[in-house]
Amino acid sequence: MIPNLITTARQFGVMLALLLVASIQNAIAQQDSQYTQYMYNTVSVNPAYAGSRGHVSTALLHRSQWVGLDGAPTTQTFNLHSPIGYRGVGLGLSIVNDKIGPTSETYFDIDFSYTVYTSTEGRLSFGLKGSGHLLDVRFSELNQYTSDASLQNDIENKFSPNIGAGVYYHNERFYAGLSVPRILQTLHFKDGPDPSTAKEQMNFYLITGYVWDLNDNVKFKPALLTKLVTGAPLQVDVSANFMFSEKFILGAAYRWDAAFSGMVGFNISKKFLIGLAYDREVTELGAAIYNSGSFEAILRYDFISTKGNLKSPRFF
C-alpha cells in the first residue's frame, strides 16, 4: 500500500510541476467560481471525481459572496454523477451559473472518468470534461461615462466550448486530485482590432485530505485546496472538519490572506447531507460596512441501495 501511495504522490508532483510551467505563458486572469465547501462539490473542479462515490450522487449549491456589496458575485451549482456498469467508467453532469454585476455566465459540463485499481482499497481515476459556456453582458445596466462604441451593445448568449481534464486518487481515508477544468483560453467580450482584456485562463486545482478516527464517535479530516491562475494571487484553502457520531459536522477554514470560514453540516440520513458555510474577509473589503461576509449552502443526496450492509457516510 505504501509504495503505491509514494508512486502516486510522485506522479502528482511531476504533473503539478508541468502545469505550473505551462501556466507562466499567460498574463491575464479570470477565475472559476469559488467554493468554501468544495469537499462536497469536488466534481465541479475535477472530472475524475465522477462516479467515485460508488452510487448516483446529486448536489445543489448556492453561494452569495460579499453580501451587501452591490453587484457582488452569486453562484448556483447543480451536479449529478454516477458509476456506469462495472468497468470503471463514471459519468457526470454539472450546471454552474455565475452572476457578477451586469455579467451572467452559465456552464454546462459533461464529465467522464475511468478508474483503475492500484491496490485492494486504492483507486486512481482519470477524467475528461466537455463544457459549453454562455455569456451575457448587460452594458445597458451600467452608469456609463464614456462614448466607447464597444460598450454600447449588450452581449447575449455568446457561446464558447471548452474542455478540461483531471486525475484523482482515493482510498477509504485519503484522497488527492489534480485538475484543470477549463483548458481552452477563450477570449470573451469583443473580438476585432480592440478586443476586451477579459480572457478565460486555465485554473489549476490541487486538492487533498485525510480522515482520522479520533475515537469510535469522532472523525477528523484536514483538507487542502490550492488554486493557481496566472495574473491572480495563489489561492490556498486549509480546512479542518470534525464529524460526530456519523451525523454532525463542524469545521473551520482559512483562505490564505483572504478569509476565515466556519462550516456546519448534518447528515439527515445516510443518504442526505445539508451543509452551511460562512466566510469573513480579512482584507480591506471585509472591513467595509457594506460587506456582511459570504454565505454558502449545499444539499447533497446519494441514491444508496438499502440492500445488504449500508456503509457509513464517507467524509469526502
Task: Give pLDDT, residue 69.
Answer: 79
Q: Is residue 124 part of a domain?
A: yes
Nearest-angstrom CA–CA distance, 40 and 63:
14
Q: Which residue has the cell 469522532?
A: 218
Task: Give pLDDT, residue 273.
Answer: 95
**88 near 115, Cβ under 8 Å?**
yes
Chain-centroid distance of CA 109 in Å reads 13
Q: Which residue has the cell 447533497?
A: 300
In the predicted model, residues of the chain with pLDDT beneath 50 are 1-30, 195, 197, 308-310
- Nearest partner of 223 among 246, 255, 247, 248, judged by Cα: 255
Q: Is residue 308 part of a domain?
A: no
Q: Is residue 150 part of a domain?
A: no
Q: In this predicted model, what pLDDT tens digit does every residue of 249-268 receive, in sequence order? A: 999 999 998 899 999 999 99
Side chain identity at 255, as an amino acid letter?
A: R
Q: Locate 38 and state its grid cell.
A: 468544495
Q: Is residue 20 part of a domain?
A: no
Which residues are registered as beta bridge partners of 58?
A: 80, 301
Task: Give pLDDT, residue 282.
Answer: 81
Q: In this predicted model, what pLDDT tens digit does every residue of 205-239 receive, in sequence order? A: 999 999 999 999 999 999 999 999 877 788 999 99
Q: Is residue 87 part of a domain?
A: yes
Task: Give pLDDT, residue 293.
Answer: 86
Side chain identity at 68, as an amino acid letter?
A: G
Return the SS3 of 8. helix
**Structural domains of the chain, count:** 1
- CATH number for the domain that contains residue 135: 2.40.160.40
Q: Is residue 225 part of a domain?
A: yes
CA distances (Å), 82 to each of 49, 67, 258, in order? 10, 34, 34
Q: Is residue 88 part of a domain?
A: yes
Nearest-angstrom CA–CA distance, 178 and 206:
5
Q: Is residue 6 part of a domain?
A: no
Report the predicted TM-score, pTM, of the whole model to 2 decimal places.
0.81
Nearest-angstrom CA–CA distance, 90 and 111:
8
Helix (H) or strand (E) holding 20: helix 2-23
Chain-centroid distance of CA 29 in Å reads 17
Nearest-angstrom CA–CA distance, 145 and 138:
15
Question: CB count, 10 Å around CB of 307?
Answer: 6
Task: Give pLDDT, residue 217.
Answer: 94
Q: Which long-range contacts (CB under 8 A, 24 or more apart) does 218-225 make?
A: 218/242, 218/243, 218/244, 219/243, 219/315, 221/39, 221/315, 221/316, 223/39, 223/316, 225/38
168: domain range? 40-140+155-188+204-302
CA distances (Å), 48 to each of 82, 138, 166, 167, in order? 11, 35, 5, 5
